[in-house]
Amino acid sequence: MKAYIFAVMFAVVSCQAQLKTFDNIIPVDDTFSKNMYPTSAQSRNYRLAADFSKKRAGKALIVIQGYDIVFEEYHNGHAAEVPLHIWSGTKGFTGAMGMCAVNEGLVSLDDKIADTIPEFKKDPRKAKITMRHLMNFTSGLKIKFGLTKDMMKEEQTIPDVYHEAIQLPATKKPGTHFVYGGTHHHVLGAFLQKKLKEDPISYMQRKIFNPIGFRYSGWYRDSQGNPALPFGCWTTAREWAKFGILMRDDGKWKGKQVIPQGVLKQCTIPTPVMPVFGFGFWLNQEVPAKYRKDLGFFFQMRTNSLFGPAIYPRGPKDLFVAAGHLGNRCYVIPSKNLVIVRLGSKNYGDFDTKFLKRILDGRIF
């Protein structure tokens, strides 16, 4: 397993020289107030976490309580206005979009994908895959990491990544195994394009981004224009924090319920076979025994907490996170009225546990 993870990471990193970038400036707006005077204990915790993040190739750290910025720093040459690729942090947007479509009655979590994508009818396993299975990564479909690499290249070798994902076989019975990877969301994208009768990002823009003033600088797409729903977004720490607040406050933005109450909370309901994952978010739940020897599903969320709550054993039960490659994180803690965004540029083992023990508890050991 270690050799496999290393091979995948090397493949992703090796393609970075060919990546198209979307680092055009996103000007800082007036969404947040600055209240940089937390208690002395909080101030010490934030300092510990910021120093830790900086030493581990961190680019940004912002802590928001309510709508106040209580801590904000940029490191290693980064600036507030410069977007970064948040990689699989994008999956949180996709989960929220899916639940908005369900709420509007445009789709159902129990919709069989084969009823919309006829190719799935040819395989008895694929014929049973539902939208829910794609949302919580239990579809049983083969994971092909080459699809991730391909959508980020300037010169793509797979012209239609959605079509390529649809052709992949189901290796497990749907709903019985959790396997982390982008294939699920590529197929979900193809399904939603047909059901929504519009581009998924266009729908996301209207239903989620516009109401909160969220801005992104670019989104990876293949040569057919299909958006990368598992990993495509480029944005800034402040912008990502806006989405974190929407999730924290269950669809409310500045006192107004812009997404009906309870819709987004469904993204943080534990998946039965993998309670540490919901619809695009990692949850502070315990890892099932059968997965404890397999670190593969923690490819994005680096942790050694395989016993007890997975993100941070001492952390609140309602802690959840949108987690991306290179240490990009949007932590949400409703019980503490907190959103913490950290942008990074390199992966480190068990980063989340070490980072959160500093920022929440002021502990370094």
Q: How confident is the model at residue 5 (pLDDT cuts 50, 70, 90)?
A: very low
- With a cut of 50, say whether residue 14 has pLDDT above it: no
- Counting residues of the chain whose pLDDT is more than 70, the rounded percentage is 91
The pLDDT of residue 305 is 54
Give me the mean pLDDT over the 85-105 stretch: 98
CB atoms within 10 A of CB 341: 28
Q: Is 67 exposed, middle or buried (0-12, 13-18, 19+ CB in 10 A)?
A: middle
The pLDDT of residue 150 is 87
Q: State pLDDT tens for residues 277-300.
A: 999 999 999 888 777 766 555 555
The pLDDT of residue 2 is 38
Name the token pair of 36: 């940089």
The rounded distance, in Å, linking the Cα atoms of 321 and 282 is 5
Alpha helices in 26-85 (DSSP H): 40-55
- With a cut of 50, say whether residue 135 has pLDDT above it: yes
Give me the mean pLDDT over the 202-223 stretch: 97
**Amino acid at position 306, single letter:** L
The pLDDT of residue 170 is 98
Q: How confident is the model at residue 152 (pLDDT cuts 50, 70, 90)?
A: confident
- Round the CA-based radius of gyration of the chain to a whole number and report it: 19
The rounded distance, in Å, linking the Cα atoms of 92 and 178 is 17
Q: State pLDDT tens for residues 16-38.
A: 445 789 999 999 999 999 887 78
The rounded distance, in Å, linking the Cα atoms of 339 and 92 is 14
- 123 near 169, Cβ under 8 Å? yes
- With a cut of 70, say whether residue 302 has pLDDT above it: no
- With a cut of 80, say whether residue 122 has pLDDT above it: yes
Domains and CATH numbers, the chain: 19-361 (3.40.710.10)
The pLDDT of residue 119 is 97
The pLDDT of residue 1 is 37
The pLDDT of residue 153 is 78
Residue among 87, 323, 327, 342 at smallest CA distance from 228: 87
Higher per-residue confidence, 4 vs 262:
262
The pLDDT of residue 148 is 86
The pLDDT of residue 293 is 66
Give me the mean pLDDT over the 110-138 stretch: 98
The rounded distance, in Å, linking the Cα atoms of 288 and 244 is 27
